[in-house]
């Protein structure tokens, strides 16, 4: 999760060629993400382990074992030695990272189905903290808006408060739709509530793991950029 990293070695032209294979919206989101994440870094304090382009060793080892090309080998065992280690993180390319972003986060979270910038915020926080964590942030933001609707606006037809469980089901989608349609709420209320939930999550990480304090300033800056 560290934001301190070396710049990606590939030039902007390489990134532009890579993202043409995807939707325009994903291309915009992934360009922004690559500017934040940078290149290879192996910070011993980063709980995700060695990271490159925002892809951590912990993530790659747990989710990079798929075989989409059907050759009988894990696609991201890049050195083909039978396991996923820091050597594979070092070998990860921009195009490989973008493929993982799209497959494991953008598609898995169905970001394209959410209005901007909701999908983009889910994507950013999914990469940074995990898919379930990103959905929990959205659920907390929705709940904050629902509480305001009841307490300040007397909205008797507001949906029930969501269980913050990280599940992106019908109840969450219905409540999100209600918040977005409600005249005094909408994106103007939901986006700041999502940012606040992200800031709270980062501060909670530092409370539980004081060694992560050095990353807090960068994390809070990242939270403040959500939805912009």
pLDDT, tens digit (0-9, with 9 covering 90-100), for 165-220: 999 999 999 999 999 999 889 999 999 999 999 999 999 999 999 999 999 999 99
End position of a domain, from candidates 74, 107, 140: 107
Can you say how many angstroms the Cα of residue 82 is from the centroid of all Cα atoms in its chain? 28
Distance between CA atoms of residues 181 and 60, nearest Å: 38
Report the chain's mean pLDDT, rounded to a whole number.
90
Q: Do 50 and 88 fall within a single domain?
A: yes
Mean pLDDT over residues 4-8, rounded? 39
Q: Do 149 and 92 fall within a single domain?
A: no
Q: Do 100 and 18 fall within a single domain?
A: yes
Distance between CA atoms of residues 35 and 33, nearest Å: 5
In total, the chain counts a number of residues equal to 228
Q: Residue 166: inside a domain, yes or no?
A: yes
pLDDT of residue 97: 94
Q: Residue 173: inside a domain, yes or no?
A: yes
Q: Do 117 and 213 fall within a single domain?
A: yes
Q: Tokens 């060793």 appear where?
A: 57
Q: Do 204 and 118 fall within a single domain?
A: yes
Q: Do 61 and 30 fall within a single domain?
A: yes
Which of 80-89, 150-159, 162-171 has the highest mean predicted lDDT (pLDDT)?
A: 162-171
**How many C-beta atoms lie closer than 10 Å to residue 17's C-beta?**
12
Which string of b and e fits 42-64 if b means at least 16 CB within 10 Å? ebeebebbbbbbbbbbebbbeeb
Q: For residue 17, what pLDDT band results from cuts at 50, 70 and 90? A: confident
Q: Do 79 and 51 fall within a single domain?
A: yes
Q: Do 119 and 211 fall within a single domain?
A: yes
pLDDT of residue 6: 39
Q: Residue 140: inside a domain, yes or no?
A: yes
Query: Percentage of the chain surpassing pLDDT 90?
Result: 72
Q: Do 185 and 213 fall within a single domain?
A: yes
Query: Percentage of the chain surpassing pLDDT 70?
Result: 94
Tokens of 206: 């530092």
Question: Comparing 88-92, 124-128, 152-156, 221-225, which segment has the lowest mean pLDDT?
Answer: 152-156
Tokens of 213: 């304090």
Q: Tokens 């969501």 appear where?
A: 162
Tokens of 180: 């977005």
Tokens of 194: 């999502």
Mean pLDDT over residues 68-89, rounded? 90
End position of a domain, from candidates 107, 129, 147: 107
**How many C-beta atoms lie closer than 10 Å to residue 21's C-beta?**
12
End position of a domain, from candidates 81, 107, 133: 107
- Asked if residue 35 lies in contact with residue 94, where contact means CB atoms within 8 angstroms, the answer is no
Q: Residue 142: inside a domain, yes or no?
A: yes
Q: Do 41 and 89 fall within a single domain?
A: yes
Question: What residues pair up with 56 in beta bridges, in sequence order?
Answer: 51
Tokens of 176: 């999100």
Domain count for the chain: 2
Q: Residue 190: inside a domain, yes or no?
A: yes
Q: Residue 7: inside a domain, yes or no?
A: no
Q: Residue 4: inside a domain, yes or no?
A: no
Q: Print the domain residue range for 96.
A: 12-107
Distances (CA, A) of 160 to 142, 148, 152, 181, 215: 11, 13, 16, 16, 36
Which string of b and e fits 191-204 if b means at least 16 CB within 10 Å? bebbbbbbbebbee
Summarised one tens digit per residue, pLDDT across range 34-61 is: 999 878 999 888 777 899 999 999 999 9
Q: Do 154 and 206 fall within a single domain?
A: yes
pLDDT of residue 74: 87
What are the counts of helices (DSSP H) followed by strands (DSSP E) for the chain?
10, 2
Question: Comparing 33-37, 97-101, 150-154, which segment has the lowest mean pLDDT?
Answer: 150-154
pLDDT of residue 11: 44
Q: Do 44 and 127 fall within a single domain?
A: no
């Amino acid at each position: 999760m560290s934001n301190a990293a070396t710049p990606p070695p590939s030039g902007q032209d390489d990134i532009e060629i890579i993202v043409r294979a995807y939707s325009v919206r994903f291309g915009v989101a992934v360009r922004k993400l690559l500017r934040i994440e940078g290149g290879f870094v192996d910070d011993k304090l980063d709980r995700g382990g060695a990271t490159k382009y925002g892809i951590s060793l912990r993530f790659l080892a747990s989710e990079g074992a798929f075989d989409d090309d059907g050759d009988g080998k894990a696609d991201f065992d890049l050195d083909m030695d039978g396991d996923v280690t820091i050597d594979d993180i070092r070998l990860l390319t921009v195009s490989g990272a973008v493929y993982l972003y799209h497959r494991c986060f953008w598609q898995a979270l169905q970001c394209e189905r959410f209005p901007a910038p909701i999908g983009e915020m889910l994507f950013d926080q999914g990469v940074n903290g995990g898919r379930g964590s990103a959905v929990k942030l959205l659920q907390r933001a929705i709940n904050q808006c629902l509480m305001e609707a009841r307490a300040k606006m007397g909205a008797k037809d507001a949906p029930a408060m969501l269980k913050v469980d990280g599940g992106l089901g019908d109840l969450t989608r219905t409540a999100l739709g209600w918040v977005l349609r409600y005249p005094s709420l909408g994106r103007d209320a939901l986006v700041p509530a999502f940012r606040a939930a992200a800031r709270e999550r980062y501060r909670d990480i530092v409370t539980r793991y004081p060694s992560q304090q050095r990353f807090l300033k960068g994390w809070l800056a990242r939270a403040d950029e959500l939805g912009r």
